[in-house]
Chain A
């Protein structure tokens, strides 16, 4: 077994475990930390695929900035615990899963969707052909830049418009609430 297979297995295990804990942790803060673990592990997968720039972006933007926003959003919310059952923290994996499945019938909907996605993915594996040899489709930062500024020029400029919308949206949404929450919290 090559080092590559071992690395992929470790990353895949981290991603699966982390994603499970994101939805199963009783504390939202813990969910956020497990989400960070998942995002960093995905960056590892990008590195293994030779997408260096994407891996850096993943860590910088997702594990850095987006996680910061999520944690800020958690700090702004009143409710930090899901379910409010302290014994849930001591439960084993099987019991935890059983309770999660039983607690909300709506939980079956995303479960069914995930199962469908898994079936489609497994069915699709054969059609895609062999994966590209590592290093064959190496993408440097210059390749990304060239593609962004020539072939994908319009999406690139639209990205800036989307970011502008995000700035204005954040300001509009928080400014309305800002007046009454301003003196309530901690400075």
Chain B
């Protein structure tokens, strides 16, 4: 069924067209006069040092991984919250078990000190 999603489609098209149109329009209107200082990556007026593609710290990955896990947890909470009134105490106990298991993981991360930013 497409009916209710036409709004979304229009929003998507408008959202894609606006930036593309602006970039195209400005490229038509502006002067094309590049010089080395102008095309270099701008970072607060500082000259860039080295390559942008450095190897990042591995601790970023733990945070991303934890984000995925708790993102998935949030997704599971959503359908639970909708039917909580209907299913009552049973659903409440189920979700406590569900979140409890994940809190064990969070406690493990805390104990392993991966949540600390050094």
Contacts and interface: CB of A to CB of B under 8 A. Distances in A.
B118 A182 contact: yes
Interface residues on A, range: 35 or more
Main secondary structure of the interface of B (DSSP, over half): helix
Main secondary structure of the interface of A (DSSP, over half): helix
Given A141-B78, A171-B112, A61 B72 contact: yes
A65 B63 CA distance: 11
A163 B57 contact: no
Interface in A27-72: 47-48, 50, 53, 57, 60-61, 64-66, 68-69, 72
Contact of A184 (B2, B55, B108): B55
Interface of B: 1-2, 5-6, 8-9, 53-62, 64-69, 71-73, 75-76, 78-83, 86-87, 90-91, 94, 97-99, 101-102, 104-106, 108-109, 112, 114, 118
25 contacts: A3-B6, A61-B72, A61-B75, A65-B68, A68-B68, A69-B64, A69-B68, A75-B55, A134-B1, A141-B78, A148-B76, A149-B83, A156-B94, A157-B97, A159-B72, A159-B76, A159-B98, A166-B68, A167-B66, A167-B108, A177-B58, A181-B55, A182-B118, A184-B57, A186-B57
